[in-house]
Structure 1
Amino acid sequence: MPEIAMGALSQNGTVLLARRSSTRRTHPDLWSLPGGHVEDGEDAETAMRRELMEEIGVTPQRWQFAGKVVLEGPLEASVTFHVYRIDQWHGYPRLVDDEHTELRWFSLDAIEGKAELAPPQLGEMLANLVSRETGKPA
């Protein structure tokens, strides 16, 4: 089962999302967290740190495991997404490669009402992350 590690950078009641490029094979043009595949011999935490540097040019400094989303399908289509909440990092988030076309900070309202997420199951987890930070119920 493929595993994906993702980083949810959060600050001031918002979370950073990246719009997937229209050329992506899966979920083109949808909003997602920066991240990518866990490679052989790598754990999800290491993959998350590597992917954030490769995709948005930041090095996570303080994070915690936020949870995972498992998408069930035929055996070859099942995927596990490991999500980490990052509240401290070095560098300024920017597009480094061509996997994404835009970065944007989303509030709780924007996550709940406007963001077309990939995978869609991330919505509840992200809303909970932002609401814990702001004290506003999700």
Structure 2
Amino acid sequence: MSQLVCAMFIEGDKALLVRRAAHRKWSPLLWDMVGGHVEKDEGLDVALVRECQEEVGLTPLAFNLVATLFEEDDRKHKSPFYVYAVRRWDGGRPQLLGTEHSELGWFRRSEIESLDLAMPAYRDVLLNGLGQV
């Protein structure tokens, strides 16, 4: 079973998203949350912090689980995506690290409604998260 963690960084009325690079096998060029696979014997919170540090140089300090999602074709729910709202972090402004993503941006509710997202179920989670500002 594969597990994934996703960080929904929220600052004011905006959420941070990253665009998956063109060479990525899953959902190339689509907007995604920061995150990735949980390694063997790694806790979800540890994986979340590690992925955020590796991808955008941020260390989540205050976060909570807000959703557990599954891809539409994962009918047996073998690969959960654990989505965390992150409202406090260390590391300043995000920056792209590595080659997984080609750009990043902060998006308001109105912009998120029209983005091409890596997972359609992200949209409701993002909109709900921004509705709690």
Normalising by the smaller structure, the TM-score range is over 0.9
Task: Report the Cα distance in structure 2 between the residues aligned to 1:64 and 1:82, rounded to whole angstroms.
Answer: 10
**Equivalent in the alignment of 2:89:** 89
Alpha-carbon shift at residue 78 of structure 1 (Å): 4.5
Instruction: Tell me which residue corresponds to 2:70.
Output: 70
Alignment partner of 1:41 is 2:76: no
* Structure 1: runs of 5+ lacking an equivalent: 134-138
Q: TM-score, normalised by structure 1?
A: 0.90
Q: With the length of structure 2 as denominator, give the TM-score of the two structures.
A: 0.93
CA root-mean-square deviation: 1.6
For each residue in 1:62-109, what CA deviation from the matched residue of structure 2 results, as whole angstroms up to 9, or x when unmatched?
111111102253679942110111111111200011100101001011
- Deviation track 1:115-137 (CA, whole Å, cap 9, x = no partner) reads 1111111110110000111xxxx
Q: Could you tell me which amino acid in structure 2 is paired with residue 26 of structure 1?
A: W
Q: Which runs of 5+ in 2 are unaligned?
A: none
Which shows bigger deviation, 71-80 or 45-54? 71-80
Aligned residues: percent identity? 33
2: CA distance between counterparts of 1:126 and 1:72? 18
State whether residues 72 and 79 of structure 1, in contact with CA within 8 Å, keep that contact through their aligned partners in structure 2.
no
Higher helix share: 1
The residue type equivalent to 1:14 in the other structure is: K
Superposed counterparts of 1:80-119, under 5 Å: 80-91=80-91, 92-112=93-113, 114-119=114-119
Matches of 1:107 and 1:22, distance apart in 2: 24
Q: How many pairs align?
A: 132
* Inter-partner Cα distance in structure 2 for 1:84 and 1:77: 19
Cα distance in 1 for residues equivalent to 2:105 and 2:74: 33
Change (3 A) 1:107 1:46: same
**Residues in 2 aligned to 1:104 and 1:45: alpha-carbon distance in whole angstroms:** 24
